[in-house]
């Protein structure tokens, strides 16, 4: 008798403004049997691509200018329209002015530039299972945020 062990395939999508680093990471993730549904260069395009999918990705990995208030507003809209998709930021910014707004929006993960494919795999697995994953470079910001909220 066969059992259904494939019901929870890890799927993800990327929103990033042409990061060759994420292209490399994406290829590693695909090789490790994580399905990448799409790449988009901005949130508007990502929202459109989501609207035509039959099944939503488990995770979005997002690498954009997190200081841009328009992008933050678009991320809030993304979260509002698709609350079940887990959000992981990828950035070189380790400043609380960028990190805290993302935590408030509901990001479950934050990977700093320099994270490797294994870090991404670990973060994806943890957030899909309801946890949070943050690079050590922002751990103090995260601890402070969650201790107050």
What number is the average pLDDT over the span 45-55? 95
Predicted pLDDT at 22: 79
Number of domains in the chain: 1
Within a domain: residue 68? yes
CATH number for the domain including 95?
3.40.50.2300
Residue 4 lies in a domain: no
The reply to whether 6 falls in a domain is no
pLDDT at 6 over 60: no
Residue 141 lies in a domain: yes
Please report which confidence band the pLDDT of residue 67 belongs to, taking 50, 70 and 90 as the band edges: confident
pLDDT over 80 at 8, yes or no: no
Tell me the average pLDDT across 80-105.
96
Range of the domain at 126: 11-148
What is the edge-to-edge ordering of all strands in the sheet holding 86-91? 35-40, 11-16, 59-63, 86-91, 109-112, 133-134
107-127 mean pLDDT: 95
Model pLDDT, residue 23: 80
| Closest CA relative to residue 38, chosen from 8, 12, 65 | 12
Do the domain assignments include residue 94?
A: yes
Give domain status of residue 93, yes or no. yes
- Position 23 in a domain: yes
Residue 2 counted as domain residue = no
Say if residue 143's pLDDT is above 80: yes
- Model pTM above 0.75: yes
pLDDT of residue 3: 45
pLDDT of residue 102: 97
Give the pLDDT band of residue 33 (cuts 50, 70, 90): confident
Give the pLDDT score at 149. 82
Distance between first and last Cα of the chain: 48
Percent with pLDDT over 90 in the chain: 75
Integer Cα distance of 93 and 101 in angstroms: 13
pLDDT of residue 84: 96
């Amino acid at each position: 008798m066969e059992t259904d062990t494939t019901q929870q395939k890890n799927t993800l999508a990327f929103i990033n403004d042409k990061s060759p680093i994420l292209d490399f990471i994406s290829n590693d993730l695909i090789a490790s049997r994580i399905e990448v549904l799409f790449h988009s260069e901005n949130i508007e395009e990502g929202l459109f691509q989501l609207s035509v999918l039959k099944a939503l990705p488990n995770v979005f990995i997002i690498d954009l200018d997190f200081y841009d208030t328009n992008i933050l507003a678009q991320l809030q809209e993304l979260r509002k329209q698709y609350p079940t998709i887990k959000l992981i930021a990828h950035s070189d910014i380790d400043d609380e002015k960028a990190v805290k707004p993302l935590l408030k929006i509901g990001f479950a993960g934050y990977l700093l530039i320099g994270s490797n494919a294994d870090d991404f795999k670990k973060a994806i697995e943890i957030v899909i299972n309801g946890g949070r994953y943050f690079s050590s470079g922002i751990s103090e910001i995260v601890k402070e945020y969650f201790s107050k909220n």
